[in-house]
Structure 1
């Protein structure tokens, strides 16, 4: 009984101690504090809205191609007798390099034959002139004889009328006079035929000269020389191979310039063209692209996936119409000397079929209201008023360019724009602002297109 009594006392003592500890904890508890600033006043970044000089950009994609391409086609048949040892695909050759020669022997013979024909015709012309001169001199003599014969005939007629000579003598003199007249007429006819003979010789000479020019042209067509610095493409002709007229021998691309036909979205191109003023159409230019100062646009070609490889370019024309597949405008830019300053890893040469991006840029005529595109929330911008409270301001976005939004209406210079996305954004809520100078600097650089 004494042991059971001791255990009971221990239980009662333990309960008493536990109750005492609970009472002490309740009496010494502290009520939780509430940090109003932390729960209700978010800290946000902001910048001041301002009108900024703005560079309007338009970007498109396309493939590079050489500005000049040469498909060497044989104009004359023959066997290949000479071929440059480096006439292979991908090889670079300088202007004036002999590339290929077709057997010229038959064309040299044709040239020699035509020259001989021309010499013969020239001799005939000299002979004709000599004959004409001789005929004129002979005609002068025969006319003089005719004059004497007619004088004699007149004298005989007077004598015959007086009975001094017989009738037979008069008849003889008349026959002699008629014969002399026939001789003079024959020489005159011969002289009249001289111009037609001369025209025939001139026509034959002209025809022979045409044959000679054709023979020389055929002879020139047997030799293929690089007309400019080029890079060889596909080569189909081999040494000793017989070539037919019209057969392609090889192709080559000029390396002095490359072109890219960039597919640019129409709305981007429209904004870019809006920065320029159309010239008057007094010169007869009907195409709008011809009335624009294309040199005012900055252009740059960038290799897609090329780790920063880029080339300065210039706009040369705007192709007519829209691409039927993508409904985009086609702007042609040219890169001069695409093989200059080539670096194997950072700047490869701009060769055929490279997939590139084209950037076109022009400064807007007037400064624009520009803010980061992330600061626009479904047509609204969060502003900070003078009481450090949030204001939801509806705005109209003219267009977006990369990470920037150009505001047409709703913002004024000096408005404090909140950059962060406040959730929930309740109008009139307190804000703890922090001016972000780095974001404002970056915004100015992006507006001027100084960052890619």
Structure 2
């Protein structure tokens, strides 16, 4: 009896559920609403547009590089000696003026060499004077001997003197000639001896000058490896110093961007035989700005001085050297530090484009197409050819005509011929023109 009751309960539950479902279905069918049909067109889509026109465009290249001094002095001992004088501020990081005596070695050995060479020159001068006097006397004696020989030769021809007397006079004349030749040879050798002594004197003076290390320019000391009273040998490294006159940054920039940038400042025709890159490309037409990475607002103005040989082996980037003159001028650490060794910088190079370009915001491109608003206020999807993109801008090579209206908004959906409510955005046009001239931040959206 219990099993039969359970089966009846399940059947009853199913029947009740079906009945409720049928009732709900009937209610939905009875109460359904027929969709309303409207003959009025959809409301136009509101969009902001800018008028396409050629704009002066400033080409830009960005890269990074590490700063280094334009000139570094590696002080190496050219002579040996004991350190007898050391500047009290000869320590790493110290700034010193040009003309400051930094280090001095014991000069006594080289002063003695100078005195010895000078004494030798004095002796040679005295010897030369004595030799010239003796040579004058010997030449007078030779003249007398020659006259006597001539007289005896005449007498010997007449038989007035004997042959032995004539031969004796001949031997005496030859001996006198030899004495004169000896003095003339000694006098001829004196200039060479004097030249050797002069060379030794000049070398001794250079060695004496090499005992003193004087700052050739305003500098900042690096590593110092010498102490007072220390004996240094020839070729030993003493200290390192960086010039404060200029700093350089070798920036790595993409090859394609640099090629476009340099092409804008190259003359149409190159003079034949020109090897210097500065003669073929106007590097002064390129503006350079540097910014310290990690320190917003800290920057310098530089100039491009050369393009380094070869590409970066790792990234195949072009290496362009930017110089900053007087990097310590106006420095106010820590808010405004000077540009110094090993600072990692961001480099921005700009140059005017050769001609005006059709420029639109990169955000206005949609997979190679621009959305345009025609004269009837309808959407036109136009495929365009993009020459290149730069800093949020796209330079259109083909497909866009001056005067056409470019839609700035991203339409969803974008259907050809859809009605538009067009509003010209004058502020966006002004920002676009400023960006194209390089006068605004490239991250700003037109």
TM-score by length of 2: 0.87
Deviations 1:206-254 (A, max 9, x none): 1111111111111000000000111111111111111111011100111
Partner residue, 1:43: 46
Residue 111 of structure 1 aligns to a residue whose secondary structure is helix
1:115 aligns with 2:104: no
Residue 206 in structure 1 maps to residue 206 in structure 2 = no
Tell me, what secondary structure is at the counterpart of 2:249? Answer: strand
Gap change, CA 1:195 and 1:381, over 3 Å in 2: farther
Is the 1:314–1:335 contact (alpha carbons within 8 Å) kept by the matching residues of 2?
yes
User: Match of 1:274, SS?
Assistant: helix
- Partner of 2:296, secondary structure, is coil
How far apart are 1:201 and its partner, in Å?
Answer: 2.1
Tell me the CA shift for residue 286 of structure 1.
3.2
- Kindly indicate whether residue 377 of structure 2 is the aligned counterpart of residue 374 of structure 1: no
Paired position in structure 1 for 2:326? 337
Say whether the 8 Å CA contact 1:279–1:291 is kept in structure 2.
Answer: no
**Deviation digits for residues 114-141 of structure 1, max 9, x if unmatched?**
1111211222211221121111111111
Matching residue of 1:412: 401
Equivalent residues in 2 for 1:179-258, closer than 5 Å: 179-258=168-247
Q: Any idea what SS the aligned residue of 2:332 has? A: coil
For residue 4 of structure 1, what is the aligned residue in structure 2? none
Q: Is the 8 A contact 1:316 1:334 kept in 2?
A: yes
For the pair 1:323 / 2:312, whether they are aligned, the reply is: yes
Contact (CA 8 Å) 1:279, 1:292: kept in 2 or not? no
* 3-state DSSP of counterpart to 2:320: strand
Asked if 1:358 is matched to 2:347, the reply is yes
Per-residue Cα deviation, 1:10-69 (whole angstroms, up to 9, x for no partner): xxxxxxxxxxxxxxxx9xx9x9999978x7533221111110001111111111111111
**Structure 1 residues 174, 281: closer, same or farther in 2, change over 3 A?**
farther
Cα gap change, 1:36 to 1:342, in 2 (>3 Å): farther
- Indicate the larger mover: 148-157 or 343-352: 148-157
Q: List aligned pairs for 1:43-442, cutoff 5 A.
A: 43-157=46-160, 170=161, 173-278=162-267, 282=271, 284-286=273-275, 288=277, 290-442=279-431
What secondary structure, in the 3-state scheme, does the structure 1 residue paired with 2:330 have?
coil
Look up the match of 1:7.
Answer: none
CA contact (8 A) 1:60 1:264 kept: yes
Task: Quote the Cα distance in structure 1 between the aligned partners of 2:345 and 2:433.
Answer: 27
Matched residues in 2 for 1:46 and 1:71: separation?
Answer: 62
* 1:156 positional shift: 3.2
What SS does structure 1 have at the residue aligned with 2:159? Answer: helix
Q: CA RMSD in A?
A: 2.2
Partners of 1:35 and 1:60 lie apart in 2 by: 59
CA contact (8 A) 1:289 1:318 kept: no
Unpaired segments of 5 or more residues in structure 2?
1-30, 442-446
Counterparts of 1:246 and 1:231, CA distance in 2: 22
Larger Rg: 1
Alignment check: 8 A CA contact 2:59 2:353 kept:
yes
Whether the 8 Å CA contact 1:302–1:309 is kept in 2: the answer is yes
CA contact (8 A) 2:135 2:184 kept: no
Cα 1:433/1:243, change in 2 over 3 Å: same
Give the 3-state SS of the residue equivalent to 1:214 in structure 2.
helix
- Determine the C-alpha separation between the residues in 2 that align with 1:414 and 1:444: 15
Gaps of 5+ in 1: 1-25, 158-169
> Deviation at 1:189?
2.4
Cα 1:97–1:439 shift into 2, 3 Å? same
Query: How many correspondences in the alignment?
Result: 409
Contact 1:63 1:261 in 2 (8 A): yes
Moved more, 74-83 or 290-299: 290-299
CA contact (8 A) 2:220 2:243 kept: yes
Q: 1:186 Cα shift?
A: 1.6
Cα deviations by residue, 1:366-403 (Å, 9 ceiling, x for unpaired): 10000101000110000011121111110111000101
Q: Using the TM superposition, name which of 278-287 and 214-223 deviates more.
A: 278-287
Identify which range, 288-297 or 267-276, moves more after superposition.
288-297
